[in-house]
Amino acid sequence: MCEDDGMKKSIRVAVTGAAGNIGYALLWRIASGDCFGANQPVTLQLLEIPPGMQRLDGVIMELKDSAFPLVHDIVGTDDPNIAFKDADAIFLVGSRPRTKDMDRADLVAANGPIFVGQGKAINAVASPNVKVITVGNPCNTNALIACANAPDIPSRQFTAMTRLDQNRAVGQMAERAGVTASTIHDVFIWGNHANTMYPDPRFGTIDGKSVTDVLDKEWLQGAFLETVATRGKAIIVARGASSAASAASAATDHMRDWWQGSNGRIVSMALPSEGWYGVPEGLVFSFPCRCENGEVTVVEDLPIDSFAQSKIDENVAALLEERDAVSELLGN
């Protein structure tokens, strides 16, 4: 590929848990140019654990069979130091899904150690400008662990995904208002990717009108909140498997906006707090963000009413508890 045919130099994109359900949907979105742009070639660096390597071989065969013009090369490995080598963007998807017998604390304990090793490998071998999105749950705390173990990489380069919660909120509003999702802007999530998260409608617009003028408050603080908070469970009940295509779509949206800009729109990203809105420093918390020139900026001046404050407080408390549970994994 050369610059004068309109194509850019290939970038390196790492995906962990690449043979899993989300990976199976996500890789096709990345390869088709939905994330990094239609003129951006990619080298895919795919990580699995040894029991997943045979499935990964099959996924790589199918990627090759898709003959994507933008896919420059594909590497499959069970070594994070190979998968993250010179990576410009990393999707941390691989982790153990929660099973019926596990509560959130068990999930934190089972998955936390994965992100120690991966954080260290990112620190050692990734591009210093790498952009990391954590999808594997509990994603906020896993991002915190990876970030803490990558001291040479600025903390703003580590994020966790709450875009699926945002997209679920927009989907519900669109249905209620009888409009398409494209007419809804600036609805975003505060807090943790868990059922405590708060989809804030107060600054959102539907066809240019305030969401709170179009939709009633009782629904926004009642059924809407409940539906968005419990959507993951509802999908599992209906489908017999957890959200995969919608999660991959949200990860694509998150990274696309970070990479290419959010066009002035507010979007949800969880990132290590620098004290914004009184959230303790370092806690990986979803804030209203704008993206421009590859940088994320938290929108810092939104007014907080008592309901929003109570939701922010609830999420801070939950995330502090998770942080305490993994304190020995934070490297200090």
Catalytic residue numbers? 193
Residues 6+ away with beta carbon under 8 Å from 239: none
Evaluate whether 54 touches 18 at the Cβ level (below 8 Å): no
Instruction: In whole angstroms, give the CA distance from residue 244 to residue 224.
Output: 22
Identify the sign of the CA torsion 66, 56, 81, 112: positive
Evaluate whether 29 touches 249 at the Cβ level (below 8 Å): yes
Interacting residue with ligand NAX among 20, 199, 204, 288 (CB under 6 A):
20
Stretch in the footprint of ligand NAX (CB under 6 A) among 208-216, 240-248, 277-285, 309-317: 240-248
Interacting residue with ligand NAX among 85, 120, 131, 193 (CB under 6 A):
193
* 16 forms part of the interface with ligand NAX (CB under 6 A): yes
Identify the sign of the CA torsion 251, 254, 258, 262: positive
Interacting residue with ligand NAX among 13, 14, 15, 19 (CB under 6 A):
19
Residues 43-102 binding ligand NAX (CB under 6 A) are: 47-49, 52, 93-95, 97
Give the number of residues in contact with ligand NAX, rule: CB under 6 A.
27
Stretch in the footprint of ligand NAX (CB under 6 A) among 11-19, 58-66, 150-158, 275-283: 11-19
Residue 94 CB, shortest distance to ligand NAX, in Å, is: 3
Give a three-class secondary structure readout of 203-247. CCEECCEEHHHHCCHHHHHCHHHHHHHCHHHHHHHHHCCCCCHHH
Residue number with CB closer to ligand NAX (69 or 113): 113
Evaluate whether 280 touches 320 at the Cβ level (below 8 Å): yes
In three-state secondary structure terms, 177 is helix
* 135 forms part of the interface with ligand NAX (CB under 6 A): yes
Residue number with CB closer to ligand NAX (14 or 184): 14
Residue number with CB closer to ligand NAX (192 or 273): 192
Q: Which of 52, 6, 61, 60 is nearest to 33 (CA)?
A: 6
List contacts with ligand NAX (CB under 6 A).
Answer: 16-17, 19-23, 47-49, 52, 93-95, 97, 114, 135-137, 139, 161, 164, 193, 242-244, 247
